Amino acid sequence: METARAVERRFACNDDALAPGESMTIPAEDAGGVAIAVFRNEDGELFATADTCTHEEWSLGEDSDLEGNEVVCPLHMARFDITSGEALCFPATVALKTFEVVVEDGRVHVLA
């Protein structure tokens, strides 16, 4: 039987650190063992997903293009919906894990 892991608030950045269309990565050692990508879409909304492309190991938070609510992995052009994690085209077929984002007192946290 698998034991449930407690969800923790992981500090990502200050709220003004990400401009619309930008992203960043919370390293695995700071995020409970799995790197997390944090995205701010053009509407200013924040979303978080697993950082690594599910097709091939590549950082989406550090080296990708954000187009609306879609992140594009530059390695093989896999696309994911940052709101749901859904893989939108080949070569990716597996969704990204998503995480809740909380902004409090000007600080962005990811629940992971």
Who contacts 74 (Cβ-Cβ below 8 Å, separation ≥6)? 58, 63, 64, 65
Q: Tell me which residue range forms the domain holding 39.
A: 19-111
Kindly report, residue by residue over 60-95, the tens digit of the pLDDT.
999 999 999 999 999 999 999 999 999 999 999 999
CA 100 to chain centre: 10
pLDDT reading at 4 higher than 90: no
Q: How far apart are CA 96 and CA 98, in angstroms?
A: 6
Residue 1 has pLDDT above 80, yes or no: no
Residue 1 maps to a domain: no
DSSP state of 1: -
**Domain tally for the chain?**
1
13 in a structural domain: no
What Cα–Cα distance (Å) separates residue 36 from each residue in 1, 5, 15?
A: 26, 17, 16
Residue 14 lies in a domain: no
Please report whether residue 76 resides in a domain: yes
pTM value surpassing 0.85: yes
| DSSP string of 27-58, one letter each residue | -GGGTTTS-EEEEE-TTS-EEEEESB-SSSS-
pLDDT of residue 6: 79
* Confidence label for 19 from pLDDT (cuts 50, 70 and 90): very high
**Quick one: tokens of 107?**
């600080």
CATH number of the domain to which 75 belongs: 2.102.10.10
Amino acid (one-letter) located at 11? F
Q: Which residues pair with 26 in a beta bridge?
A: 36
